[in-house]
């Protein structure tokens, strides 16, 4: 925030933003030129891996769809996530405080869903018989 009364236009917009943008672009291009080696082993189009895993950010979703016996239940459980988030926003709008310690419902939903997602993500790299760890 600006506490000194200095206007954002033209000082920040014309002088600081282009420097940050050009610095980010040059840093990315520099890393691309210097570290141009492949990240993993070369792909073999004629060999299928034993177990195909998605990217790491899809691990909880992948595991949830994998362990639920009925796929409709899995899709409905994934569709319920935005509904829960919207309901949490409406419930927390009743509270006038911005401090997370004084907004226990949103904090509890966040902590519970984060722990559950980490738990499902860990289980997705295990075999199907051990897909729900600690159970």
pLDDT tens for 107-124 read 888 899 899 999 999 998
pLDDT at 1 over 60: no
Pick the CATH number of 56-130 from 3.40.50.300, 3.30.390.10, 3.40.190.10, 1.10.287.980: 1.10.287.980
**Cα–Cα distance measured from residue 60 to residue 66, given in angstroms and rounded to the nearest whole number:** 10
pLDDT tens for 57-80 read 999 989 888 888 888 988 898 898
pLDDT of residue 27: 95
- Reduce the DSSP state of residue 46 to 3 states and report it: coil
pLDDT of residue 134: 59
Rg (CA), the chain: 23
Mean pLDDT of 5-23: 82
pLDDT tens for 25-47 read 999 999 888 877 766 777 788 98
Token readout for 61 is 């979703």
pLDDT of residue 133: 67
pLDDT of residue 43: 79
Of 83 and 1, more confident: 83
Q: How many residues does the chain have?
A: 135
Question: What residues does each domain of the chain span?
Answer: 1-37, 56-130
**Cα–Cα distance measured from residue 4 to residue 1, given in angstroms and rounded to the nearest whole number:** 9
CA dihedral (7, 8, 13, 15) in degrees, to 10, reads 50
Report residue 23's pLDDT band, with 50, 70 and 90 as the boundaries. Answer: very high
């Amino acid at each position: 925030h600006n506490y000194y009364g200095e206007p954002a236009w033209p000082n920040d917009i014309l002088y600081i933003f282009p420097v940050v943008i050009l610095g980010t672009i040059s840093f990315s291009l520099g890393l691309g030129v210097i570290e141009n080696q492949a990240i993993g082993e070369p792909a073999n189009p004629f060999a299928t891996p034993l177990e195909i895993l998605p990217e790491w950010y899809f691990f909880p979703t992948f595991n949830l769809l994998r362990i639920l016996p009925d796929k409709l239940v899995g899709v409905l459980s994934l569709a319920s996530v935005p509904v829960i988030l919207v309901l949490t926003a409406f419930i927390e709008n009743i509270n006038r405080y911005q401090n997370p310690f004084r907004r226990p419902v949103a904090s509890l939903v966040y902590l519970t869903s984060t722990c559950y997602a980490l738990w499902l993500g860990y289980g997705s790299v295990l075999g199907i018989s051990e897909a729900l760890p600690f159970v």
